[in-house]
Copies of this chain bind each other. A is one copy, B any other.
Amino acid sequence: MKRTTIRDIASETGMSITTVSLVLNNRPSKISEATKKKVVEAAKRLNYSPNKLAVGLITKKTQTLGLIVSDISNIFFSILAKGVEQACQREGWSVVLCNSWDLHERDMKLIEVLTGRGVDGIIYCMSSDSDQDKALESYALLQKNNMPFIEIDSDYAGTARHNVFFDNERGGYLAARHLIENGHRRIACITGPNGPDYVSGRIEGYRKALAEAGIPYEPDLLVEGDYTMESGIRAAEQLIGRDFTAVFAFNDMMAFGAFKTFRDRGIRVPDDISLVGYDDVPLCDLLEVSLTTVRQPIYEMGMTAAKNMIRYIETGSDEDTNVCFEPQLMERSSVKNLNAQPGN
């Protein structure tokens, strides 16, 4: 039950290996239509499909992308992965999935592993325990391995030539401004681990909106989460007792967690506390109060990242492909307009 090789179909048709390879790869050559047809038919009959390992060994190309995410069971990453996989499948590429568990050392390990496996490029979602040094370290490794990569929504070095990101400052700004427009002045944040720039970007945007409205920035109103619902719950608990009328969570899951905490404590959303999330995952209208959030086109981003990566690898194109996706405020029901209610 051996797989049929190019040699089998050569002997089957009486042609040489070269001829077979040429026609099967559609190479420009002057092979008669007749023999072409014969070869193709034999290939089909024998159910031939090339051994990608052998091909890869020669061409140094495997048509495979590595995907490093911190947690595939996080809906943000699973949607992203779906986009990446879809783009790859369309182009005949494959994706090998790696979970870093948000550990920088795993990032490093995985980069090595993927290099050893001969992937042609990596879609890299840096683990969020990375500080500047660690980030630089992983870039260095990538470069040392001569590995093309696209980083998702982050660019420490500020020099990446192939990136795909969201305008996080804009996103943070939109969320905060929306709250401010609705009369809120004391706005708490549930952030992510400090490190990656999408966190600082959003904080920037938030501060900018505050500044525009002449509202002082209070570090005390920021609590750090880790994007899990659990952490949203805990963050909200920490927040309780401090003086604020609204919460801006850096993803929807943490917003859900905060919502739950508030509900359990008899604090009503949005009557007592307004809430804004981030991402717009497909669960936002599930709660009794649908969640106002900042939408990011995650799936599209995944597709674009993979498409650009592939195009870059295949064409060796020299042009930069930095693409930025604009966030969009999705107004739903979790923000109360304080202006409409004199007295508070």
Contact with B along A224-262 (1 / 0, CB 8 A): 000001000000000000000000000000001001100
Report yes or no: A53 in contact with B56, Cβ–Cβ below 8 A.
yes
Report yes or no: B229 in contact with A286, Cβ–Cβ below 8 A.
yes
Contacts of A97 in B (CB 8 A): 67, 81, 85, 95-97
Oligomeric state, in number of copies?
2
Report yes or no: B98 in contact with A52, Cβ–Cβ below 8 A.
no
Having A72-B78, A89-B98, A94-B113, one finds 4 other A-B pairs with CB under 8 Å, namely A53-B53, A71-B82, A72-B82, A256-B283
Report yes or no: A118 in contact with B52, Cβ–Cβ below 8 A.
yes
Chain B residue at minimal CB-CB distance from A60: B53
Q: State which size class the interface on A falls in.
A: 35 or more
Contacts of A85 in B (CB 8 A): 72, 97-99
- Given A52-B116, A62-B53, A112-B49, A81 and B75 contact (CB-CB distance below 8 Å): no
| Bound: A59/B85 CA distance, A | 28
Interface status of A44 (Cβ within 8 A of chain B):
no
Interface status of A282 (Cβ within 8 A of chain B):
yes
Report yes or no: B89 in contact with A79, Cβ–Cβ below 8 A.
no
| Bound: A114/B53 CA distance, A | 12
Interface status of A285 (Cβ within 8 A of chain B):
yes
| Bound: A36/B264 CA distance, A | 64
Contacts of A82 in B (CB 8 A): 71-73, 99
- Given A96-B95, A116-B52, A72 and B64 contact (CB-CB distance below 8 Å): no
Contacts of A285 in B (CB 8 A): 260
Contacts of A78 in B (CB 8 A): 72-75, 77-78, 81
Contacts of A49 in B (CB 8 A): 112, 115-116
